[in-house]
Amino acid sequence: MSSTDHADLKDILEFVAQAEGTFPQDLCEVRESPLGGVGVFAKSAIPEGTTLLQLPKSAVFSASNSSIANLLHDAQIDGVLALNIAFIYETTVFRETSHWTPYLKSITAGALPPAYWNDADKLLLQGTTLDTLFDALTPQEEVQSGFEIAIDLSETWNKEFGLAIPQGYLDIDINDMDDVRRKFHKFVSVAYALSARVFEIDAFHESALVPIADLFNHHVVRPDLHFVSQYDVCDLCGEAGMCKHMLAEEIEAARDEEELRERSRSPKVEKNRSDKADLAISPSVISLLEKDLAEELDEQIREQSTDKPKELDPEECVDMTLSRDVEAGEEIFNSYGELSNVFLLTRYGFTIERNPYDIVHLGAQAKEHIANNEALVERAEWWANTGFELFANWFKVAFPEEEHEHTEDCDHDHDEEHEHTEDCDHDHEEDEEDQDEDQDEEQDEENDEEQDSEMENDDEEEQEAEEPWLSELEVDYTGQATPALIALCTLLSMKEEDVQALIKGAEQEPDSFEQLISEENMATSGAVVRDIALAYKEKLDKAASHSASEISAEQAECAKNLVIAESAILEKLLESLQL
């Protein structure tokens, strides 16, 4: 979806060279990729550990680095919305005068994510997991409100500072609904183009665009390199070491400590806040804090005054480093995260064949199955209100090693972590934080981010909170149904007296839940799984029978691939049932 024009490469490489970034063109080259657009290829064999890109953070494009950084900061706009607005200003208002133009002009928008396709095109994905679990055919309110915020700000900045309103984007004619719709879609398409390229950099830059790093394509299982950026920096100035903000914070903390000590020495004297300033901090504490800052300033002055070429401070750079050897001629891949095709399509605009992170979610179909069978409603209600929780508790104890957590690393983790970030974000706009919680110690220091994703699945989280029994009704890429799905289907297939016995004894005899996943009951439960899977598959067939109306051939192909991938998973499931 997001392709770089070959003609822009020269300017991007020059931009990086001027920023004193390093990209060893004797080792690798950027050229057309068979995947579409461009990719990065090895010119010769390159060993693991080689850094292929090192770029000062000052050369990444973030809201904090942009021409309107102060305005955005004062308006308290951050995250991807800030990046979106900054990008629009830089490319429409500042254009040729902008330092970023040689790079930013290579990023073109146009395509819309599925939630903004017309109704006819949405039919291509109707009934899929993208639709039923992630609700990614429904526009997100945050996107609309992000657009409104951008319009309001542009009018305010225009009135107060005479800053031009971005033409063709935020200069809407409120009386012309077509104009509003067209410009809203342009705003969304910018967000979609950026979401395919954004990286999480650090606490100061947050989401940002990184020249050259964004030319590496995604490999689903065998990436060659990883993106490294130290996340822990001052969120006000971006300094990795001691800075004036940290110094101020430490002085404040020392002051508070002193105050506490003072209070405990004379507990009867209640000091109020206004007395605080009078408390003396030990001069040794201040001189220690100031010494750190002075040393750092000295270091900077020494560096500036020597003639030798300035060495980049790794703490102030982002790096892309090979995590395995690559052979001459190979395309070098990044990983955008362990992401299913739903996520790849909604955030990055592409899908891949044989994606091991794909799942099919049968929750909505199971609900429909129950609603169509009156006799099942009562037992399903018991399951939803009581039974599932008891079953999940029993399962955790009985199979501790199989405990199924929807963590970031989980294959069918719907909070699919952003690495080249985005949540099955169908809301590409507002996702803020996408730090892997699972980062190991080293990654705590250096945020080893794949391009960050933020598809925050607010919808799914809501569903999980409201109906946890539905969230795990899944089939994985290998065609394996989750225990929760098997258990529910067994319950639905049991004789009424057996169900009553289970309900009666469930709390006292948790082991009675074993029958819900026992091999013996597979034949009957399998029949229910099959009915639900076949009904779901019928919807997939229907989706596949529609033709695209407005979307590009590439997008139609992605929709088709997604449906084919889900069908293939269900085929595997049906085959395994052997009924």
Ligand X SMILES: C[S@@+](CC[C@H](N)C(=O)[O-])C[C@H]1O[C@@H](n2cnc3c(N)ncnc32)[C@H](O)[C@@H]1O
Where do contacts with ligand X occur on this chain (CB under 6 A)?
Answer: 1-4, 33, 35-39, 196-197, 214-215, 217-218, 348-350, 352
Nearest to 133 by CA among 400, 472, 568, 479: 472
Is 4 or 65 the residue whose CB approaches ligand X more closely? 4
**Least distance (Å) between residue 40 CB and ligand X:** 9
Q: Which two tokens stand for residue 317?
A: 């750079």
Is 462 or 554 the residue whose CB approaches ligand X more closely? 554
Is 2 or 54 the residue whose CB approaches ligand X more closely? 2
**Least distance (Å) between residue 32 CB and ligand X:** 9
The position carrying tokens 């016995």 is: 501
- The backbone torsions φ and ψ at residue 60, rounded to the nearest 5 degrees and listed phi first, read -90, 150
**Least distance (Å) between residue 57 CB and ligand X:** 19
**Least distance (Å) between residue 421 CB and ligand X:** 11
**Least distance (Å) between residue 339 CB and ligand X:** 11
**Least distance (Å) between residue 516 CB and ligand X:** 40
Instruction: Please state whether 203 falls in left (phi above 0), alpha (psi between -120 and 50) or beta.
Output: alpha
Name 445's Cβ contacts closer than 8 Å, sequence gap at least 6: 230, 232
Is 206 or 531 the residue whose CB approaches ligand X more closely? 206
Question: Do 246 and 101 contact (CB within 8 A), yes or no?
Answer: no
Measured from each CB, the residue nearest to ligand X is 37
- Crossing angle of helices 374-382/483-493, nearest 10°? 130
Burial class (CB in 10 A: 0-12, 13-18, 19+), 52: buried
User: What residues pair up with 218 in beta bridges, in sequence order?
Assistant: 334
- C-alpha–C-alpha distance, residues 522 and 509, integer Å: 22
DSSP state, residue 219? -
Cβ neighbours of 3 (radius 10 Å): 16
- C-alpha–C-alpha distance, residues 79 and 453, integer Å: 12
Is 219 or 406 the residue whose CB approaches ligand X more closely? 219
**Least distance (Å) between residue 348 CB and ligand X:** 4
Is 36 or 49 the residue whose CB approaches ligand X more closely? 36
- C-alpha–C-alpha distance, residues 105 and 7, integer Å: 11
- C-alpha–C-alpha distance, residues 367 and 520, integer Å: 25
N residues, the chain: 579
**Least distance (Å) between residue 548 CB and ligand X:** 18
**Least distance (Å) between residue 337 CB and ligand X:** 12
Question: Do 554 and 37 contact (CB within 8 A), yes or no?
Answer: no
The position carrying tokens 């051939």 is: 553
Is 166 or 223 the residue whose CB approaches ligand X more closely? 223
Is 35 or 285 the residue whose CB approaches ligand X more closely? 35
Is 146 or 223 the residue whose CB approaches ligand X more closely? 223
**Least distance (Å) between residue 344 CB and ligand X:** 8
Nearest to 313 by CA among 322, 304, 325: 304
Is 166 or 349 the residue whose CB approaches ligand X more closely? 349
Is 348 or 536 the residue whose CB approaches ligand X more closely? 348
- C-alpha–C-alpha distance, residues 100 and 107, integer Å: 11
Strands 225-230 and 446-447: antiparallel
| Three-state secondary structure call for residue 92 | helix
- C-alpha–C-alpha distance, residues 414 and 412, integer Å: 6
**Least distance (Å) between residue 4 CB and ligand X:** 3
User: What is the DSSP annotation of 430-486?
Assistant: T------TT--HHHHHEE-PPSP-----HHHHHHHHH-HHHHT-EEETTSPBPHHHH
